[in-house]
Structure 1
């Protein structure tokens, strides 16, 4: 895939540690929104990297391993259902992105602070210089890498959540509002990990 040269453009302006940031799970009824912040090496591209939504499960999982192996630094941030209900999904998404930046570590576990952020369609409250890119997961290499890491990470969480909250089908639909999920909610009611602010119209589904 031919990505636009956002990283090169800002590197020419003097920035060295340019992180791509993306989230997954924003539209779910259940569980955390998860963000990834990642710094990829300049001049190297992993073949097959794309918007995570356009990749098969197997392809995402294969790329997940390759991206983590190649990354200079990576961080994961999360915001749970309680926080989403308390401050709304947009602000919770921003919280998870800032949390991901705070959690960035290199392969030796050393904290890494980026000096520039490329964010998929969001602007967050931080002193770090940033650029919001519309459809960033389609147009920017580091954001596409972040989208894959966040997606696979959250999918793995969904498998664990399925064990704790069976019968909702979380491992299959990942918490989205499928027919099966809506019917399960009508039958059993919400769990403690469902986003109550997202369920206000459940009776009319």
Structure 2
């Protein structure tokens, strides 16, 4: 395996998608853009329509000097918490770059721990970085597009939840499905709405195993 190239003059942008949803992984991307190949239209992925994100993602993957997408799954989110899982996904995305940058710009107010990463570079957290820095905006687009595709695939496994439409976020449709069907294996049980839905469903299931008169008393 070839060792990553060292490029001290280049900057990598890092961002995530999916910190807020009740279901699915949190996805991060790292991007090193080519200064000689400008891509018009890059900005915070939340400010773009889905079709625009898809088109820009193709351009970014084709023109970037290096890019990488990684994620932390639901088990890791529930085990560590969403912040630590997000940072884990960011670390994995950086490890996936085949070029080691001299500087890393991360969206937000806190950088993940870079202890043990196989690269020597400086790091910077930038609030609203996906709107202020093109490289972070590019990372936000790749992360969002990748996660949306994952949720569309998961929709085929759990069609009653509507993941293809809301991507796991808190919507009336999602809450209604949670209340009716309970959490799936891809729901974040450490998130309170999911936990409460699971507890309510378990309670009703337990009551169903009681003698009829006991169930009436319990209700």
Give the TM-score range, shorter chain: 0.7 to 0.9
Contact 2:8 2:100 in 1 (8 A): no
Q: Is residue 2:107 matched to residue 1:123? A: no
How do residues 36-185 of structure 1 correspond to structure 2 at under 5 angstroms? 36-104=29-97, 111-121=98-108, 122-127=110-115, 128-185=121-178
Rg (Cα) greater in structure: 2
Q: What is the rounded CA distance, in whole Å, between the counterparts of 1:35 and 1:117 in structure 2?
A: 14
Shift of residue 102, structure 1, vs aligned partner: 1.0
Q: Deviations over 1:37-59 (max 9, x none)?
A: 01001244211111100011111
Shift of 1:114: 2.4
Residue 195 of structure 2: aligned partner:
200
Give the Cα separation in 1 of the matches to 2:196 and 2:96.
Answer: 36
Measure how far apart 1:31 and its partner are: 0.5
- TM-score (structure 1 length as normaliser): 0.86
Q: Which moved more, 1:176-185 or 1:113-122?
A: 113-122
Residue in 2 aligned with 1:3? none
Q: 1:32 aligns with which of 4, 7, 25?
A: 25
Could you tell me how far apart the structure 1 residues matched to 2:150 and 2:195 are?
25
Structure 2 regions of 5+ residues with no counterpart?
1-6, 116-120, 201-219
Residues in 2 aligned to 1:201 and 1:136: alpha-carbon distance in whole angstroms: 34
Measure, in 1, the Cα distance between the counterparts of 2:100 and 2:158: 36
Conservation of the 8 A alpha-carbon contact between 2:13 and 2:105? yes
Residue of structure 1 equivalent to 2:207: none
Q: CA deviation at 1:158?
A: 1.0
Q: Give 2:180's match in structure 1, choosing from 179, 183, 187.
A: 187
Residue 18 (structure 1) shift = 1.2
Distance 1:120 1:188 in 2: 36
User: Which of these residues, 16, 19, 22, is aligned with residue 15 of structure 2?
Assistant: 22
Note the C-alpha offset of 1:184. 0.1
Q: CA RMSD in A?
A: 1.6
Shift of 1:201: 4.5
